[in-house]
Structure 1
Amino acid sequence: MRALLDVILIVLNLYVWLLIAAAVLSWLVAFNVVNPYNKFVHNVGEFLFRITEPLLAPIRSVIPSLGGIDLSPMILILIIFFLQRVIGLYIYPNVF
């Protein structure tokens, strides 16, 4: 059972890095640092969008719009950190 919890913690950690990569890529596209019409950049952006959007869309529907600032990745990262702490402190020690 601890192996399963370890895998869950690794997947949550990987998802945090994917959220950060999606946010950085969106900034790079917004400031015209990278060309979104480049095939590689487009494929990476599409992959990150498809991976992160299913969890970000419900958060965006709940929080109010703050103009051009999107706080949903930060909120999702905080939720993931909370889940990691709960698993690490309360669930992991009680599993044999």
Structure 2
Amino acid sequence: MTSLFQILMLVLDVVWFIMIAHIIMSWLISFQVLNLRQPLVAQIWHGLNSLLEPIYRPIRRVLPPMGGLDLAPLVALIGVYAIRIILVNNMHAFM
């Protein structure tokens, strides 16, 4: 069961890293440091969007519209971190 706990923690770490990369890339695109007309940047951006959109979509349905501000990534990051805390606090169940 310890291996199951470690696999869950690994998956949460990977999701956390992908979300952080997506957030940073969105800032770089917004401030025109990165250009979506470059093929590599566009492929990475569309790949990250396709990975994270199933996570963000239900959150966006619940959150009220905030104009141009998208809080779904922040809520998702907090959710991943909360799941991580719950797993660590209940680690004895996996032993």
- Whether 1:95 aligns to 2:76 is no
Where in structure 1 are there 5+ consecutive unaligned residues?
none
Aligned partners of 1:46, 1:13: CA distance in 2, in Å? 21
Letter in 1 for 2:93: N
CA RMSD in angstroms comes to 1.0
| 1:58-83 deviation line (CA, Å, top 9, x unaligned) | 10111011111111111011111111
Aligned partners of 1:18, 1:95: CA distance in 2, in Å? 26
Letter in 1 for 2:63: I
Structure 1 segments (4+ residues) deviating >3 Å: none
How many aligned residue pairs are there?
Answer: 95
Q: What does residue 5 of structure 1 align with?
A: 5
Aligned partners of 1:2, 1:57: CA distance in 2, in Å? 32
Where in structure 2 are there 5+ consecutive unaligned residues?
none
Aligned partners of 1:9, 1:95: CA distance in 2, in Å? 12
Q: What does residue 30 of structure 1 align with?
A: 30
Aligned partners of 1:40, 1:95: CA distance in 2, in Å? 41
How far residue 46 of structure 1 moved from its aligned partner, in angstroms, is: 0.9
Aligned partners of 2:33, 2:61: CA distance in 1, in Å? 29
- Whether 1:55 aligns to 2:64 is no
- Give yes or no for contact 2:29–2:36 (8 Å, CA) kept in 1: yes
Aligned partners of 2:93, 2:9: CA distance in 1, in Å? 16
Letter in 1 for 2:92: P
